[in-house]
Amino acid sequence: MTLDRFYPIFDDVSWLERMLQLGVKLVQLRLKDRTEDAVCDQVGRAQALCRAHGATLVVNDHWQAAIAARCDWVHLGQEDLDTADLDAIRAAGLRLGVSTHDEAELARALALSPHYVALGPVYPTILKKMKWHEQGLDRVTQWKRRIGPIPLVAIGGMRVDRAAGVFQAGADIVSAVTDITLNADPELRVREWLEATR
Q: Check: CB of residue 134 under 8 Å from CB of residue 154.
A: no
In sequence order, what are the beta bridge partners of 28?
A: 9, 58
Residues 6+ apart with CB under 8 A from 104: none
Cis peptide before 186 (omega within 30 of 0): no
Choosing from 5, 14, 25, 30, the catalytic residue is: 30
Q: Active-site residue 18, yes or no?
A: no
The backbone torsions φ and ψ at residue 57, rounded to the nearest 5 degrees and listed phi first, read -100, 130
Q: Active-site residue 128, yes or no?
A: yes
Choosing from 5, 34, 51, 128, the catalytic residue is: 128
Choosing from 95, 99, 139, 144, the catalytic residue is: 99
Q: Which of 115, 113, 111, 162 is nearest to 135 (CA)?
A: 162
Q: Active-site residue 14, yes or no?
A: no
The one-letter amino acid at 3:
L
**Which of the residues are catalytic?**
30, 99, 128
